[in-house]
Amino acid sequence: MQSPLNPKSKIQNPKLNRVLIAVGGGIAAYKICELISTLFKTGVEVRVVLTHSAQQFITPLTVATLSRHQAYTDNDFWQANHSRPLHIDLGEWADIIVIAPLTANTLAKLAYGMADNLLTNTVLASTCPVLLAPAMNTDMWEQLSVQRNWQQLLIDSRYHGMNTASGLLACDRVGAGRMAEPAEILAHIESLLHTQGKRDLIGKRVLISAGGTREYLDPVRFIGNPATGKMGLALAQAALHRGAKVTLVYAPANWEVPLGVQAIPVISAEQMQHIMVESLPNADIIVMSAAVADVKPKDYSREKLPKRSLPQALPLEPVPDIVAQLAQLKQPHQTLIGFAAQTGNIVKPALEKLHNKKLDVIVANPIDRANSGFGSDRNQAIFLDIQGRQLTIAPCSKLEMAHQLFDFIIREF
């Protein structure tokens, strides 16, 4: 999956661009090199703390080279060569602390407020959000004591926990305990840089559609569009990072679903309609970011049609208008957001869609501008709501735009 932090563009808020990476001792430590390198390329200031065990897997020289700054170890912590205590300086310097991989040992120390090395002292000497990416053997992760420590730590609102993935581990065990991939950690860092750690969607259930539906003529030919679902993916990430329970209904895509998101794959507009309508009663916020087909072939062949049998004129019929149906079914406490992918004047047709389909908010999205719309990692838009308010969003990453949309919704509704 592509990193949502585009190395060609810098983090939007220059006041929140200092990330302290604390590396624990585990084989997953090798993945942190990619994380450090990508953060530096985005313009983020990076400092790295290595535990003694972490140095068995990656060296201070490696991370210092990637971050363009000295790596800190326990040897630095215990030497009196700083004007102020090192853990105090680092704790006050950081806007975000990322602990990856988080080991069972460090988890236990943090859960009980212990501080016996540079990493744990720095966490206790700081007040910024702390992102936790655990990694360990399946049996270790599933131990009652480890899960108790994990839940105890997450009671503190400072701590933002990432789910572990399942798969083949370095110990040859197949199961839970794999650290989240660097791209997913990067997305969570970008979210924390925007939200400063607030989770204002806790208790909310967010239903999102994503991607471009496909309407098949035969098993190999279909009517479709260039939508990749990246905007829907960003919306799911932003909502998840702000504390929501997220359901993502997505058409064919080539990205990985974020850990912690309930994902339901579909292909056609009819399939998407069924799932969205079925899921609607349990949602507080509904975002229809999918590019749903307008028409489908009237006839479907179960076998591939020979080229000579293709019709000269393809009979078409309309597909369900999902967002209009959701608007008819939604309850007063629910907020429904639609997207309008447009060329030229994007505001007029978006306003018509907003009112005709009885939406609460619509995102007017230009698809004829560079680095915007279908397939791009970046986007720009104008948000319009039913009260007549408008907000122009300058070009930014799709994750940044997703957060700005939730800011707009929370502020106005």
Q: What's the distance, Cα to Cα, between the start and end of the chain in Å?
A: 33
Helix (H) or strand (E) holding 342: strand 335-342
Please say whether the beta carbons of 222 and 305 come within 8 A. Answer: no
CA–CA distance, 379 with 2 (Å, rounded to integer): 15
CA–CA distance, 284 with 320 (Å, rounded to integer): 22
Helix (H) or strand (E) holding 3: none
Closest CA to 209 of 338, 398, 320, 381: 338
Instruction: Give the C-alpha distances (Å, rounded to integers) separating 16 from 123, 192, 205.
Output: 18, 9, 28
Compute CA 385 distance to the chain's CA centroid, rounded to the nearest angstrom: 24
CA–CA distance, 153 with 118 (Å, rounded to integer): 19
φ, ψ dihedrals at 121, nearest 5°:
-65, -40
Side chain identity at residue 313, one-letter code: A
Please say whether the beta carbons of 165 and 260 come within 8 A. Answer: no
Ramachandran region of residue 320, left (φ > 0), alpha (ψ -120 to 50) or beta? Answer: beta
For the record, the structure tokens of 63 come out as: 């991370």
CA–CA distance, 346 with 5 (Å, rounded to integer): 27
CA–CA distance, 1 with 4 (Å, rounded to integer): 9
CA–CA distance, 127 with 411 (Å, rounded to integer): 26
CA–CA distance, 235 with 210 (Å, rounded to integer): 9
Helix (H) or strand (E) holding 367: none
Compute CA 9 distance to the chain's CA centroid, rounded to the nearest angstrom: 18
Annotated catalytic residue within 33, 128, 171, 396: 171
Residue 171 annotated among the catalytic residues of the structure: yes
E strands in 211-334: 215-218, 221-223, 245-250, 262-265, 285-288, 295-297, 316-318
Cα torsion 5, 233, 135, 42 to 10°: value is 0
Count the neighbouring beta carbons within 10 Å of the beta carbon of residue 13: 12
Active site residues: 171
